[in-house]
């Protein structure tokens, strides 16, 4: 911490931050290549180009942000100057005048599945939360123990490694009292049991996914059908490994998400992800059986997929943690 002219507090960087960034970077880089590879040199229809072009630009933009984040995340810092808080993240800077700050607290934020740049171990820029709305995040804590700074116009979320030191120093510049920690409440026994039950079901489904993949991988052809058109004709292929495990690797951060949460957020995430995990397991079984030559009722599969997807959306809306009055 530099005390010559101002105080500097660095962010709380953890291994999960780098793991998340590298995983998303690999996924975003592979996806466009896989899409182009699936056409195997054929001319891509103009309509599809119009759809894919902005998507590829979005992927490139996200790749740029992720590469920058990997190199500068350890230097992300919060500077306490004489009249303002300066948040520095590579080329991005946020100036927060002390006179605009109306409240500061350290708290856990409630997950909202409709979000932007939020990963396990990192949240950047404008991120939507169920309890606080949109928060301008420069934090390696995506949900838990976020220092929330409320101003007249915006809310900022940060994660100084020396949280107590930062809050103590910031309080000297303000005319308000700072809450140093969120309130802790003991969970009722019934709620803990409910959480354990839904967690048991969820992890059972995830384990079943991998068991199914491993059990059938030796019986499947080296080149698998992974996509069909609306008439049921195969129009997408992949090598066996990517056909079986490619999508599973993409969804792995989602399956691991509950491990980084506590309380209501963990319960809500388990409840929301469970029907989606069931839907994905059924999709895996459908792809495997189809590649083994079995004829599956496509309408039944579509109906189940719509039902489970609708259930996921309903749970996400109805069971979302509410803001306190």
CB 25 within 8 Å of CB 65: no
Which of 312, 247, 314, 313 shows the shortest CA–CA distance to 275? 312
120: part of which helix (H) or strand (E)?
none
Q: What is the pLDDT of residues 21-62, one digit of tens each?
A: 887 787 777 666 656 655 555 666 666 666 667 777 877 888
Q: Write down the domain spans for the chain.
A: 7-74, 189-318
- What are the distances in angstroms from CA 192 to CA 266, 272, 307? 11, 17, 28
Residue 148: is it exposed, middle or buried by C-beta count within 10 angstroms (0-12/13-18/19+)? buried
Q: How far apart, in whole angstroms, are the C-alpha atoms of residue 209 and residue 196?
A: 20
If we measure between CA atoms, which residue out of 206, 311, 313, 202 comes closest to residue 267?
202
Mean per-residue pLDDT, 134-142: 92
Length reported for the chain: 325
C-alpha span between 225 and 289 (Å, rounded): 11
Percent of the chain clearing pLDDT 90 (strictly above): 18
Residue 172 is encoded by which pair of tokens? 């000297």
pTM: 0.56
85, β-bridge pairs: 80, 96
């Amino acid at each position: 911490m530099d005390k010559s002219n101002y105080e500097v507090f660095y962010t709380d960087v953890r291994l999960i931050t780098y793991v998340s960034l590298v995983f998303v970077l690999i996924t975003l880089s592979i996806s466009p290549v896989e899409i182009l590879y699936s056409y195997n040199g054929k001319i891509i229809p103009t309509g599809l180009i119009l759809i894919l072009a902005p998507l590829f630009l979005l992927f490139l933009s996200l790749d740029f942000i992720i590469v920058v984040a990997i190199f500068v995340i350890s230097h992300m810092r919060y500077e306490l100057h004489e009249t303002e808080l300066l948040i520095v993240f590579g080329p991005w800077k946020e100036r927060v005048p002390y006179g605009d700050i109306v409240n500061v607290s350290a708290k856990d934020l409630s997950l909202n599945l409709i979000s932007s740049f939020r990963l396990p171990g990192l949240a950047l820029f404008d991120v939507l939360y169920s309890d606080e709305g949109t928060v301008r995040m420069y934090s390696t804590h995506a949900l838990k123990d976020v220092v929330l700074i409320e101003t007249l116009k915006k809310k900022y979320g940060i994660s100084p490694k020396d949280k107590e030191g930062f809050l103590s120093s910031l309080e000297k510049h303000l005319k308000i009292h700072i809450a140093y920690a969120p309130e802790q409440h003991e969970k009722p026994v019934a709620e803990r049991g409910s959480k354990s039950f839904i967690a048991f079901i969820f992890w059972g489904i995830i384990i079943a996914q991998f068991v199914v993949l491993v059990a059938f991988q030796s019986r499947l052809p080296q080149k698998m059908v992974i996509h069909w058109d609306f008439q049921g004709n195969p129009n997408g292929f992949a090598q066996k490994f990517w056909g079986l495990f490619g999508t599973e690797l993409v969804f792995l951060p989602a399956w691991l998400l509950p491990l980084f949460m506590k309380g209501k957020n963990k319960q809500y995430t388990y409840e929301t992800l469970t029907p989606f995990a069931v839907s994905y397991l059924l999709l895996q079984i459908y792809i495997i059986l189809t590649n083994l030559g079995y004829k599956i009722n496509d309408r039944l599969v579509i109906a189940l997929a719509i039902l489970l997807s609708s259930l996921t959306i309903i749970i996400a809306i109805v069971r979302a943690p509410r803001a306190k009055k």
